[in-house]
Structures are given as structure tokens and as C-alpha cells.
Amino acid sequence: MVDAATRSSPPRNRESGELLVLGVESTAHTFGASVVSSRPPYVLSDVRSQYKPSKGGILPREAAAFLAENAPGVVSRALEEAGVGPGELDAIAVSLGPGMGPSLRVGATVARALASRYGLPIVPVNHAVAHIEIARFLTGLRDPLVLYVAGGNTTVMSHVAGRYRVFGETLDIALGNLLDTFAREAGIAPPYIVGGEHAVDRCAAGGKYVKGMPYVVKGQDVSFSGLLTTSLKLLRKGFRLSDVCYTLREIAFSSVVEVAERGLAHTGKDSIILTGGVAANRILNEKVRLMALEQGARFEPIEARFCGDNGVMIAITGLLAYAHGVSLDTPRKALIRQRWRPDEVDAPWYPLTLRDL
Ligand code: AMP
Ligand code: MG
């Protein structure tokens, strides 16, 4: 870890009332650290290190070992780039869930160690809430409907009466998991993403619609496991890869957009944000944009680099929460919660964003 004495940037001249929070992200394959200020330019650093399995999916223990090895360097660089010594921080925010146990434990351990060493409070951050807060911060949409699509999550949410409430979600696998698993089993990945494009998109070029692949929306919820099985079965039967990829993508994206559209109608929200790793997808962005246009709702896409997991979103959320009195009284209480749902988290800062503090 970097001490104030070994810092390369000059010390910051802190304005009165400025809050500085270090955010630590470590829920799955990314170890990210970022220092965020309550004053412009807000984001002072953004350092990440990502585990990439050479073949197959994420191996939890291998991922955690990678994160643990890279954590000290990532935290040091985040402080260095921000020109902030650890003793100058007001709090440490850490994503304690939901996520993979071994990965979560790395971030929690790092946060507890730093908090104990420097006498800092820990702010517990829910990873899903953080994906929402960075999108609200970047787009300026203060009270949106949220479509959160990632490797392990597919949820439509909106803030009602103090919390983000889940309007609809996947009943089985997440959208990112569907795309990744199909790509892997079809032999077109890893790597899953090349030049910002998913392997399924790349192989869908020139594809045509295949009849008989299941489109499943049950009430407000979606389901993708039948779509995955059928797609792989058709491929084995000799259907063209491009046709199966195209149809899989169209069905999967249309089903989440349908639930989001209904969410807009039911909640009466007049804007929508798309967040999480799959939000980097250009075709999904276009579908959401068209749906929002039809519904008369505002939609602002977010930059691809802030769709996937990062420390900035944890620091932003932690700072908002800390400014509203949320922190643990002892680092020992910073315990991971693998299945922590966003609707279990109070969001007392809402509808404020960092720009309103
Ligand atoms: P996260 O779980 O938030 O880290 O997001 C990771 C997921 O986002 C993985 O399933 C990726 O395959 C997916 N992803 C990243 N970029 C894209 C893209 N351009 N199109 C579709 N999925 C993507
Ligand atoms: Mg994520």
C-alpha cells in the first residue's frame, strides 16, 4: 500500500467540506479501485485489473487468487493517480455483494485491512445499486427506470419508497451468462468480447430468423435457460451458426426490452437507463432507445467503459451513502453477502446524485 510519504503526485489542497472516498470492487472477475471526490471533477482515479479465463468460464478460486495478487497494486495506483494519501480519505467503500464468495472475500479483506490501519469507516455497497448510481451520475437522469443486464444479473428496477424495488428479473440465468455460455459451447469464445463486440454479435452478421426458438416472458420475469438449450440443440442439428446467433440475440434482447417497456408504463417513470456489462452492447442500446422513443421516455446511453464492473461506481455510491450517514461502526462488520438483493438496501440519498452534494 502507498503511504502519504511515498506518493508520487503532490498532496491535494482540500476544499472545506470536500469528501474523499476510496471505492473497492471485487465481486467477480474485476478488482477495481477508485478515489472519488464530492467536488468536480469527482472521479480522481480509476484503476482495474481483470481476470480472464484462458478457456471456459470463470473459475471462482482461480479468479480470487488473481484478484488477491493484483489488489495491492491496484489500490496503490488508484491513490497515486488521485494524489491522495490513505490518511486523507474520509471512508472506504467496498462492494460486499452480490457476487462470488471467494472474489468478495478479497475486496472485503483489503477494505478491512485499510480501514483498521488508517482508522477509517467502511461503507458497505451493494454491487447492483452501484451499477445504478454510476448510470444516474453519468446520465443526469435522476429518477429513471433501470434495466440492469450483466454476467450474473438481469433485473428491471425502479426507486419507490426509499429503496430500489425489483419490477422484473430473470427466473434462471442472466443475459450475459446466456450470451457467454452459448458462445463458449458453440466454440466461438473465449475471448467473449473483441473490439467491444460480443462473439454472438460477430457471428450473427447476415443471420436470419429461425422459427421455434422459445421467447419466454412470464409476468414481469424473463427466462433464458430454454433458449440456451434449444439454441445449442439446433446448432448440433446443423442449423447455420449465424441464424442461431441472430435469433438468440433478438429473442433475448427483445424479452428484456419488453419487460422494461412494461416497467415504464406501470411505474410512470419518464426516463430509462441501461447499465451492467451487457449495457455496452450497441444493438441492445438501439432497441432500448427506440422503445423509449415510442414511450415518450428519455434515454441516455452510458460509456461502455462504465458498463462493466469498476471501482468508480463503488466509490460514487459509497460517497453518496456516507454523506447520508451510512457506515459501519467497526471494520469487523464488513461481511460479504453473496445473495444481497438491491431491494434490501435503503437508499436515503435518492434522488440526489454526486453533483447535488
Ligand atoms: P459484468 O457482470 O457487469 O462484469 O458484465 C460482464 C458481462 O457483460 C459478460 O457477460 C460479458 O459478456 C458482457 N458484455 C460485455 N460487453 C458486452 C457487449 N458489447 N455485448 C454484450 N455483452 C457484453
Ligand atoms: Mg457487475
Is residue 45, in this structure, part of any structural domain at all? yes
Q: Is the CB of 179 under 6 A from ligand 1?
A: yes
Q: Is the CB of 103 under 6 A from ligand 1?
A: no
Q: Is the CB of 278 under 6 A from ligand 1?
A: yes
Q: What mean pLDDT do residues 89-110 have?
A: 98
**Ligand 1, atom 17: closest residue by C-alpha:** 278
Q: What mean pLDDT do residues 51-71 have?
A: 91
Total domains, the chain = 2
- The answer to whether residues 159 and 234 belong to one domain is yes
Ligand 1 atom closest to Cα of residue 280:
19
Q: How far apart are CA 298 and CA 24, in angstroms?
A: 31
Q: What mean pLDDT do residues 156-168 have?
A: 96
- Separation of 302 CA from ligand 1 center, angstroms? 14
The answer to whether the peptide bond before residue 351 is cis (omega within 30 degrees of 0) is yes
**Residue finishing a domain among 258, 278, 299:** 299
Q: Is the CB of 193 under 6 A from ligand 1?
A: yes
**Residue finishing a domain among 299, 323, 343:** 299
Is residue 14, in this structure, part of any structural domain at all? no
* pLDDT, position 16: 79
What's the pTM?
Answer: 0.95
- The answer to whether residues 71 and 190 belong to one domain is no
Q: What mean pLDDT do residues 236-240 have?
A: 97
- Separation of 111 CA from ligand 1 center, angstroms? 26
* b/e per residue 189-214 (b: at least 16 CB within 10 A): bbebbeeeebbbbbbbeebeebeebe
Query: Distance between the two ends of the chain, CA-based, in angstroms?
Result: 30
Burial class (CB in 10 A: 0-12, 13-18, 19+), 232: middle
Q: How far apart are CA 180 and CA 191, in angstroms?
A: 10
- The answer to whether residues 124 and 235 belong to one domain is no
Is residue 204, in this structure, part of any structural domain at all? yes
Is residue 12, in this structure, part of any structural domain at all? no
Is residue 15, in this structure, part of any structural domain at all? no
- The answer to whether residues 25 and 113 belong to one domain is yes
Ligand 1 atom closest to Cα of residue 152:
2
- The answer to whether residues 239 and 159 belong to one domain is yes
Is residue 321, in this structure, part of any structural domain at all? yes
- The answer to whether residues 294 and 319 belong to one domain is no
* Residue of 130, 94, 169 lying closest to 336 (CA atoms): 94
**Residue finishing a domain among 281, 299, 317:** 299
* pLDDT, position 56: 76
In sequence order, the β-bridge partners of residue 21 are 36, 91
What pLDDT, in 10s, does the model give residues 206-227? 999 999 999 999 999 999 999 9
Is residue 2, in this structure, part of any structural domain at all? no
Q: How far apart are CA 202 and CA 73, in angstroms?
A: 35
Q: How many C-alpha atoms does 199 have within 13 Å on its Cβ side? A: 18
What percentage of the chain exceeds 70 in pLDDT? 96
Ligand with minimal distance to 179 CA: 1
- The answer to whether residues 108 and 216 belong to one domain is no
Ligand 1 atom closest to Cα of residue 282:
19
* pLDDT, position 110: 98
- The answer to whether residues 145 and 293 belong to one domain is yes
Q: Cβ contacts of residue 238 below 8 Å, gap of 6+?
A: none
Please report, for the domain that includes residue 293, its CATH number.
3.30.420.40
The pLDDT of residue 7 is above 50: no
The pLDDT of residue 4 is above 90: no
Q: Is the CB of 124 under 6 A from ligand 1?
A: no
Q: Is the CB of 196 under 6 A from ligand 1?
A: yes
Question: The domain containing residue 237 runs over which residues?
Answer: 141-299
Is residue 8, in this structure, part of any structural domain at all? no
